[in-house]
Chains A and B, each alone.
Chain A
């Protein structure tokens, strides 16, 4: 077996504690993912990535650094990866999706902080994730109060750069985000020592757009019935897209889509055609958070779309590729990123429009509106979300959960009852 212990040691990791995660992953992945039947063959790549999750990609990032390159860790889909790649840097997602990292975060954060923030802080401070050790700069943003304070704590340990995201969507807010992108470009240029040019930015805009197009193709296949890929598998593809090489990510997603499109032609699905089709909307599910999808898909339904950061918000809308001057490219970036509809904005009617549109496009039978515990933004926005879904006549439930196993049976009971209700 490949022995990554030397690499982890060199990264200053706590090997003993990290080993507990290495122990848990194979059993969980086997029972959650590999136990599924009739998976597309193209999922083999993603099985490989998970099997080597703290080995292959970290080794690539370290090799990039050895050759003088820099790695930027990001926590939010508003941070424009294009800027980093235009300066020959690599952007990698850093969000923590495991209960394993939560106690580490609770050493410095209030218990009443969302598990995503606790896990992200815990992964860095407890030295139990290679990605959190490798990143030269952590790029934070102002999407919620918990994160804003967490950056200050992380900044005691690592270089943290924070982007100030406007929270309304007027023209002046889009212009303000363009200014923030300019300031971020300066930081990236300083860190990498590489100048961003109109040519290099045009290239990286295409690179990231191609990744978005490829992910959109996978999701397009999910609109069909019987659905050719499970929600769990689709979620995994999105999660891995956050830290994979963007060109490889696009190539793999396109190859998988070729297979999915053939399955659609032949009427091959992973669930019977009459299986209730579920949309999940709400807070992101960072890898390896597969909890709700697993419960839904082992309770008689299939997840066909996620209206979340680890879902449609990540790839919908492309950056205009026709601009050739830096200032206009930056405006195009700002315009695209400000189309993402996060609950940190007020008002945020765009998200409700998205939910209702996606419900039609993916022909959903029911919606699960879910938020991570202690996420004030999404739990508060749930009032308006539920009202709109109810008016549209779509069955729904609202759930609040975290990464732990404690509520799994309760969730299973509630989800099971919801699916039963849809079936009637």
Chain B
């Protein structure tokens, strides 16, 4: 499904514990988020990111502050999903 206009906000962490901590807090607060492998264009290192929709970013930033979660950065990416995906790894 191609959705050119959708923006995904990737929250990157110094380690997975911080990512899991935020994921739990976001779930408890009812904010939608998704654990995702960090896209290579955002970091050379492997590991988790949290993806939130642009409209939920403000709430996510509030929870980051309230829970004192350590993050590396937040990057906005335009979602690029081809209609048919035939690449495997």
Asked if A pairs with B, the answer is yes
Binding site for B on A (CB under 8 A): 1-5, 21-32, 34-35, 41, 44, 47-48, 50-56, 98-100, 288-291, 294, 298, 403, 405, 408-409, 412
Contact of A48 among B16, B46, B88 (CB under 8 A): B16
Contact B81 A48 (CB under 8 A): no
How far is it, in angstroms, between the C-alpha of A400 and the C-alpha of B33 when the chains are bound? 38
In the bound complex, residues from chain B placing their C-beta under 8 Å from that of A25 are 37, 46, 89
Q: A2-B45, A25-B37, A51-B38 are in contact. Are A31 and B81 (CB under 8 A)?
A: yes
Could you tell me the distance between the alpha carbons of A98 and B89 in the complex, rounded to whole angstroms? 6
Contact in complex: A34, B34 (CB < 8 Å): yes
Which B-chain residue is minimally distant from A35 (CB atoms)? B81
Residue in A closest to B51 when the chains form the complex, CB atoms = A34
> Are B47's CB and A2's CB within 8 A?
yes
Q: How many residues of B contact A (CB 8 A)?
A: 34
Q: Which residues of A have CB within 8 Å of B51?
A: 34
Question: With A1-B72, A52-B16 known to touch, is A24 a contact of B37 (CB < 8 Å)?
Answer: no
What does DSSP make chain A's interface, helix, strand, loop or mixed?
Answer: helix
> Is A405 a contact partner of B46 (Cβ separation < 8 A)?
no
Known: A2-B46, A29-B37, A30-B37. 20 other contacts (CB 8 A): A1-B12, A1-B15, A1-B47, A22-B40, A25-B37, A26-B36, A26-B37, A26-B38, A30-B36, A44-B34, A44-B35, A47-B36, A48-B35, A48-B48, A51-B37, A52-B46, A52-B47, A54-B46, A55-B47, A294-B85
Out of A30, A55, A412, which one reaches B86, CB within 8 Å? Answer: A412
- Chain B positions 21 through 52: 1 when the CB is less than 8 Å from some CB of chain A, otherwise 0: 00100010000001111111001111111010
B62 at the interface (CB under 8 A from A): no
Whole-angstrom distance between the Cβ of B86 and the nearest chain A Cβ: 4
Identify B88's interface contact among A30, A47, A405, A409, CB under 8 A.
Answer: A405
Are B48 and A52 interface neighbours, CB within 8 A? yes
Q: Is the CB of A51 within 8 A of B88?
A: no
Could you tell me the distance in whole angstroms from the C-beta of B36 to the nearest C-beta in chain A? 6
Residues of A within 8 A of B85 (CB): 28, 31-32, 35, 294, 298
A2 surroundings in chain B (CB, below 8 A): 14-16, 45-47
Q: What is the predominant secondary structure among interface residues of chain B facing chain A?
A: loop
Task: Find residues 37-89 in chain B having any chain A CB closer than 8 Å to their own CB.
Answer: 37-40, 43-49, 51, 72, 81-82, 84-89
- Please report the C-alpha to C-alpha distance between residue A28 and residue B85 in the assembled complex, in whole angstroms: 8
Query: Is B20 positioned at the interface, with any CB of A under 8 Å from its CB?
Result: yes
Neighbouring A residues of B47 by C-beta, 8 Å: 1-2, 4, 51-52, 55
| Contact sample, A vs B, 29 pairs, CB 8 Å cutoff | A3-B45, A24-B87, A25-B89, A26-B36, A26-B37, A26-B38, A26-B39, A28-B87, A29-B89, A31-B82, A31-B85, A32-B88, A34-B34, A44-B23, A47-B34, A47-B35, A47-B48, A48-B35, A51-B16, A51-B38, A51-B46, A52-B46, A55-B46, A99-B88, A99-B89, A294-B85, A298-B84, A405-B86, A405-B87
By beta carbon, the residue of chain B nearest A1 is B45
The residues of B that contact A289 with a CB separation of less than 8 Å are: 88
B38 touches A1 (CB 8 A): yes
B39 interface neighbour in A30, A32, A98, Cβ under 8 Å: A30
Over the window 1-20 of chain B, the binary record of Cβ atoms lying under 8 Å from chain A Cβ atoms (1 yes, 0 no) is 10000000000111110011
A5: chain B residues within 8 A (beta carbon)? 45
Smallest CB-CB A-B distances: 4 pairs:
A1-B45, A408-B86, A26-B37, A51-B48
Give the distance in Å from the alpha carbon of A48 to the alpha carbon of B45 in the complex. 15
State the Cβ distance, A403 to closest chain B Cβ, in Å: 7
Minimum CB–CB distance for B35 against chain A, Å? 4
Q: A408 contacts which chain B residues (CB < 8 A)? A: 86, 88
Known interface pairs A1-B43, A1-B45; A403-B35 also in contact (CB < 8 Å): no
Q: Give the docked Cα–Cα distance between A2 and B44 (Å).
A: 10
Is B27 a contact partner of A41 (Cβ separation < 8 A)? Answer: yes
Chain A nearest CB, measured from B81 CB (Å): 6
With both chains docked as a complex, state the minimum distance between the C-beta of A257 and any C-beta of chain B, in angstroms.
18
Residues on A with C-beta less than 8 A from B36 are 26, 29-30, 34, 47, 51
Give the residues in chain A near B14, CB-CB below 8 Å: 1-2
Q: Which residues of A contact B87 (CB under 8 A)?
A: 24, 27-28, 31, 405
- Taking CB as reference atom, which chain B residue is nearest A406? B86
List the A side residues contacting B48 at CB < 8 Å.
47-48, 51-52
